[in-house]
Amino acid sequence: MNKQNLLVELGTEELPPKALKKLATAFAESFSKDLNAFGLGFDSVKWFASPRRLALIAYNVDESQEDRIVEKKGPSVAAAYKDGNPTPAALGWAKSTGITLDQAETVKTDKGEWLLFKAKVKGFTIYQVLEQILSNAVKSLPVPKMMHWGATRFEFVRPVHTLCVLYGSQLVDLEMFGIKSSRTVRGHRFMGKQELEIASADDYLSVLETEGSVIADYDKRYQMILSSVKEQAASLGGEADLDESLLNEVTSLVEYPCVLTASFEEKFLEVPPEALVYTMKGDQKYFPVYSSDGKLLPNFIFVSNIVSKDKSQVIAGNERVVRPRLSDAEFFFNTDRKTTLASRLDALSSVMFQKQLGSLKERSERISSLAEYIASKIGADPALASRAGLLSKCDLVTSMVTEFTDTQGVMGMHYARLDGEPEDVALSMFEQYMPRFAGDCIPSTDVSASVSIADKVDTLVGIIGINLSPKGDKDPFGLRRSAIGLLRIIVEKGYDLDLEDIVSKSRSLYGDKLSNANVEKEVVDYVLGRFRAIYQDVGIKSEIVLSVLARRPTRPYDFHRRVEAVNRFTSNPAAEALSAANKRVSNILSKAGGAIPQNPDAGLLSEDAEKVLFEILEKSCRDLEPVFEQKNYDAALEQLAQLRQPVDTFFEKVLVNADDEKVRGNRLAILSELRNLFLRVADISLI
């Protein structure tokens, strides 16, 4: 069978850089899926993307589908003929298949003999199905908002101007967006040829690069930028800030990268570096450079989309552009320094946190009180935690944060230090927002942790307290992030904090602002429910988490220790049998009518198996009490694993539902005691 490489390129206007890689990978994945669905074999599909094109090459694609045998079963022979004449059912079936009855075959089955139509169908060629495959791939792209262009009704992420589809050297005749496929693709806007003719799919990359000054291979551009930025930073005696998202965005902005180094006046280094970095990276897409000791250097590295004959002009132009932005940062910083952070507290009265929950000043006061309370529980300095909580939102009304919103917390930290606030207080200004995203660090000090926990609990209690819990995927107040961050801090720091306690304290600080009478229970349940997502990321099965969640331990660190112990217990050979036994016990107890005696009566024991289990249970209860007090769940489960044999023997030898009511009640009491013993750790019947 003939196999050729297949090229598809959509030539567009400038595509959104932050979405380019996602669009290109989705394009290739959908195309691959449909090639498989249409029965066209291929080796691999590689995507290519630049600001003005989405493209892919499918390697060694079959020219056509395999021929296949089509079978269509008809009515039974008995139903097809009556008195030797064909019935309407038989005639209708034959007509639908395009044959006469005498051309039909028969097939014998266990249920009798049936009419059968069998035909060999020739497979479609790639030329016949490619338009459908390409259309499906385009429609499946993750584009939140489409565009119209010109007088057409076509929609796409950006206007489409060219379409090139080649199978080997053969042009595939198809049409999309009102554009017929051709061999023409567009080169770089300012370098090389503006329009190029592609002779075959194999020539695509080389012709674009050599004649059109376009490197269509996204990964190649990425590596060119990465290696050159590293090299130029090293020549300055420093290291570049190689932010992955910035690297991807810059790669998506250029078709032929030219990496250059520029500088700015050293006077700007008196401004906190985060503000300078924010404007360089966020506004200008520049790479800041740091010295070996982590200090910002008065240099930046940028990527141009043109290889200029006079690079000094390009460098000077970028230096002129960045200077006023750095001057703005300097002006805002100097303006903010005229007033202390603490003096801005009253200004927070005019900024709403949420209309039903009051202003940011009220929120700061609640966080202050709650942070002080939490600090007293975890051994931190309550006074410092209270002070940090009170100042925690003051930088939100500074000029710097108003202009550069991503610097919130960072500027608060710098201003607090310059105001002479204690270092723990200053650090809390920044660390209150930790962890900000998955994988981020947690606060480094107990004071910072107190403020961060207080901030997250205040948000959860307030928003759920006015009945605005997240619905589906929507979470406008970031409650999921707050809950996961709260759990991470408590667990990773090993704090013995009770959610019910701190949520109750937070609830009281809101006074009469909350309308949800069940807010405390709902907040605790919501937070505990986030444990599933945390443990899923580290490969712990959800049923293990559910087994602990069924017991609802409200101290997150205790919850964590139980999950880890149960997870380790599942590798014990006795775990599966004991889980099955617990399920059986649970079912028996749930079906038992009437009250179950609280304590088994040794005088009612008659069978050897129940006597043995009773004795071992009584001993286990005594031995395990100090183990449970120490929360040594691993040791508890290891000891409980020794109950496997007597439990198995009990179920094998003893009839629980005995005729004698007292005996039956006594045996149920034994099982209840057994189950309660396991429930001290988790409901292992769920694993």
What is the model's pLDDT at position 106? 80
Average pLDDT over every residue of 606-624: 88
Rounded Cα distance between 62 and 222, Å, is: 32
Q: Which helix (H) or strand (E) holds 208?
A: helix 204-212
81-82 vs 296-304, strand pairing mode: unpaired
Whether residue 45 contacts residue 25, with contact meaning beta carbons closer than 8 Å, is answered with no
Worst-scoring range by mean pLDDT, 103-107, 203-207, 350-354, 521-525? 103-107
Whether residue 176 contacts residue 185, with contact meaning beta carbons closer than 8 Å, is answered with no
214 Cβ contact list (under 8 Å, min separation 6)? 50, 53, 187, 188, 192, 208, 255, 256
Q: Considering Cα of 397, then 403, then 407, then 413, what sign does the dihedral take?
A: negative
Count of Cβ atoms closer than 10 Å to residue 68 Cβ = 11
Rounded Cα distance between 29 and 52, Å, is: 20
What is the model's pLDDT at position 513? 94
The closest alpha carbon to 218, from 47, 103, 63, belongs to: 47
**Using CA atoms in the order 593, 598, 603, 607, what is the torsion angle rounded to 10 degrees?**
60
Output the CA angle 42-47-52, nearest 5 degrees: 140
Task: For the chain, give the number of residues.
Answer: 687
Average pLDDT over every residue of 83-95: 82
The closest alpha carbon to 11, from 211, 196, 174, 257, belongs to: 196
What is the model's pLDDT at position 443? 96
Fold classification of 570-686 is: Isoleucyl-tRNA Synthetase; Domain 1 (1.10.730)
What is the model's pLDDT at position 40? 84
**Confidence check: pLDDT of 121 > 80:** no
What is the model's pLDDT at position 47? 96
Which tokens hold the place of 490? 């408590």
Q: What are the DSSP E strand ranges found in 235-308?
A: 238-240, 258-263, 287-291, 296-304
Cα 498 vs. chain centroid, distance in angstroms? 28
What's the pLDDT tens digit per position in 597-612?
Answer: 778 888 888 888 888 8
Sequence spans of domains, the chain: 3-65+125-212, 68-121, 218-336, 353-529, 570-686
Q: Which residue type is seen at 687?
A: I
Fold classification of 353-529 is: Hypothetical protein af1432 (1.10.3210)
3-state secondary structure of 65: coil
For the residues of 312-334, what is the DSSP string, one character each? HHHHHHHHHHHHHHHHHHHHHHH
3-state secondary structure of 310: coil
Helix orientation angle between 423-431 and 446-465, rounded to the nearest 10 degrees: 40
Burial class (CB in 10 A: 0-12, 13-18, 19+), 577: middle
Q: Considering Cα of 30, then 33, then 39, then 44, what sign does the dihedral take?
A: positive
What is the model's pLDDT at position 210? 94
Rounded Cα distance between 42 and 217, Å, is: 20
Output the CA angle 401-406-412, nearest 5 degrees: 50
Whether residue 171 contacts residue 152, with contact meaning beta carbons closer than 8 Å, is answered with no
What's the pLDDT tens digit per position in 561-592?
Answer: 999 999 998 888 888 888 888 888 888 888 87
CA distances from 91 to 70, 72, 87, 209 (A): 20, 14, 6, 64
Q: Which residue type is seen at 416?
A: A
Burial class (CB in 10 A: 0-12, 13-18, 19+), 121: exposed
**Confidence check: pLDDT of 95 > 90:** no
What is the model's pLDDT at position 110? 76
Rounded Cα distance between 513 and 353, Å, is: 13
What's the pLDDT tens digit per position in 38-48?
Answer: 888 889 999 99
Residue in the block written with tokens 């769920």: 686
Rounded Cα distance between 440 and 586, Å, is: 41
What is the model's pLDDT at position 120? 63
State phi, psi for 354 to the nearest 5 degrees: -160, 140
Average pLDDT over every residue of 349-369: 95
Q: Which residue type is seen at 475?
A: D
Q: What are the DSSP E strand ranges found in 122-180?
A: 160-167, 170-171, 175-176, 179-180
Whether residue 194 contacts residue 186, with contact meaning beta carbons closer than 8 Å, is answered with yes
CATH number, domain 3-65+125-212, options 3.40.190.10, 3.40.30.10, 3.40.50.12160, 3.30.70.260: 3.30.70.260
- pLDDT band, very low/low/confident/very high, at 425 (cuts 50, 70, 90): very high
Output the CA angle 224-229-232, nearest 5 degrees: 120
